[in-house]
Amino acid sequence: MTVHPVVFLVDVDNTLIDNDHIAADLKRHLEREVGHERQARYWAIFEELRAELGYADYLGALQRYRVEHPRDPHVLTVSSFMVNYPFANRLYPNSLDVLERFRSWGPTVILSDGDAVFQPRKIERSGLQEAVDGNVLIYIHKERELDDVERRYAADHYVLVDDKPRILTAVKRVWERRVTTVFTRQGHYAHDPQAPATNPPADMTVERIGDLLAYDLRAFLAAPPPVQARATTMPRRER
């Protein structure tokens, strides 16, 4: 088995793609097609399903909405809007450039949570799948599947780029000094005011994915202390 010096693992939603913008576009489309009340009901189902599954399932929520409204012909237009959405238009600036830079240093893998239909289509149609040579992993809970990630992409060191502090913290606790966690402050999860209180700082923080172009490989390979040590030896800074 080949063990790479470094493997880059990069999240999708609100890390490479502005998923908040996609959701806002869908909300406007639903409002126009089914009206405000039914649009609100769709999002209520969506949140119920996310709590149940642990990930966003847009098409699954639409299927449940259809059960409640089996004679609503607008369901078909909404599904068409979802699967044919121009995802490439929602890539953050320099997203592909960052992936290209990472690929010049080591294998680069899309590491995402999501459903088995909509998420793969988003990754493919946005151009992200091609940009990482088809290296795509989509799990229900990716932070629980690190052994499978290691089996598929063995490395001495990993670099994880994500917009969710919870994910970065969970992975850091498992891989400790073997991973450099990179927090991209994009999207609504990244600006959750409770996140700093419940998660220690990532090893690196950038405001935009494109900011990573300013770093060389040595910055990503610098071995930081494990999260437990940082949490007990470093005082919390006021923000």
Question: Tell me, what CATH number does 81's domain have?
Answer: 1.10.286.50
Specify the number of domains making up the chain.
Answer: 2
Same domain, 202 and 113: yes
Radius of gyration, CA atoms only, the chain: 19
CA 173/CA 34 separation, integer angstroms: 45
Whether 33 and 78 have beta carbons less than 8 Å apart is answered as: yes
Residues 11 and 127 in one domain: yes
Query: Do 116 and 223 fall into the same domain?
Result: yes
The reply to whether 68 and 119 lie within a common domain is no
User: For strand 4-10 and strand 108-113, is the pairing parallel, antiparallel, or unpaired?
Assistant: parallel
The pLDDT profile of the chain, 239 residues, written as one tens digit per residue, is 889 999 999 999 999 999 999 999 999 999 998 899 999 999 999 999 989 988 888 889 999 999 998 988 888 888 889 889 999 999 999 999 999 999 999 999 999 999 988 999 999 999 999 999 999 999 999 999 999 999 999 999 999 999 999 999 999 999 999 999 999 999 887 778 777 778 899 999 999 999 999 999 999 998 565 444 443 333 333 33
Can you give the pTM of this predicted structure?
A: 0.88
d(CA 47, CA 68): 16
Angle between helices 36-53 and 58-68 (to 10 degrees): 120
Q: Which of 29, 52, 87 delimits the end of a domain?
A: 87
Q: How far is CA 148 from CA 17, 46, 50, 103, 227, in A?
A: 25, 28, 23, 21, 22
Asked whether residue 238 is assigned to any structural domain, the reply reads no
Strands (E), the chain: 4-10, 108-113, 136-139, 155-162, 179-184, 204-206
- Residue 123 has φ and ψ, to the nearest 5°, of -65, -40
Residue where a domain terminates, one of 87, 115, 137? 87
Q: Which domain holds residue 83?
A: 19-87
Asked if 81 and 100 sit in the same domain, the reply is no
Residues 144 and 175 placed together within one structural domain of the fold: yes
